[in-house]
Amino acid sequence: MTTSTQRSTQPSTQPSPQTPTQTLTTTQVYRVYIKATPQAIWDAITRPEWTARYGYTGLAEYDLRPGGAYRVRATEQFAAASRAQGHEIPDVIIEGEVLEADPPNRLRPPPQDHPPVSPPSGC
């Protein structure tokens, strides 16, 4: 008779006196290729008239320096659709500080540690 034993390489999720509990985190990285100049992409991300146009449902405003203000205001269409569904939203739906800015190559806004505001249907 032959027996085989398999050992799990995953850390235990059940605490025990002999085994410490570990938490694993998976990070997904996405690369997006856009056929446009860096400046055109920068403008689309940082200029309110472009952020509304490209479906972010918000008008982004940046003080483009580390520590500068970052705010997103809801478009009127977004706010109206939200009200029509019985939900009031604040004027500023996201705010924080710019962590890094190197126009037009790198922009690092603050991480969002709250649930994002979802666009109402019809936006």
CATH for 51: 3.30.530.20
Q: Tell me, rounded to whole angstroms, the distance of Cα 123 from its chain centroid.
A: 19
Beta-bridge mates of residue 73: 59, 92
Question: Looking at the domain assignment, is residue 56 inside a domain?
Answer: yes
Q: What are phi and psi of 87, to 5 degrees?
A: -120, 120
Mean pLDDT across the stretch 13-28? 75
**Residue 64 domain flag:** yes
Whether 122 is in a domain gets the answer no
Residue 116 lies in a domain: no
Residue 91 lies in a domain: yes
pTM of the model: 0.59
Distance between CA 74 and CA 80 in Å, rounded?
10
- Reported as a single tens digit per residue, the pLDDT across 25-63 is 898 888 888 899 999 999 988 888 888 887 667 898 999
Question: What pLDDT shows up at residue 15?
Answer: 57
| 123 pLDDT above the threshold of 60 | no
Q: How many domains does the chain have?
A: 1
| Predicted local confidence at residue 68, as pLDDT | 94
Burial 70-104 (b: 16+ CB within 10 A, else e): bbbbbbeebbebbeeeeeeeeeebbeeebeebeee
Q: What is the extent of the structural domain holding 88?
A: 38-108
11 lies in some domain: no
Q: The sheet that has 69-74: what strands, in order across it?
A: 58-62, 69-74, 92-97
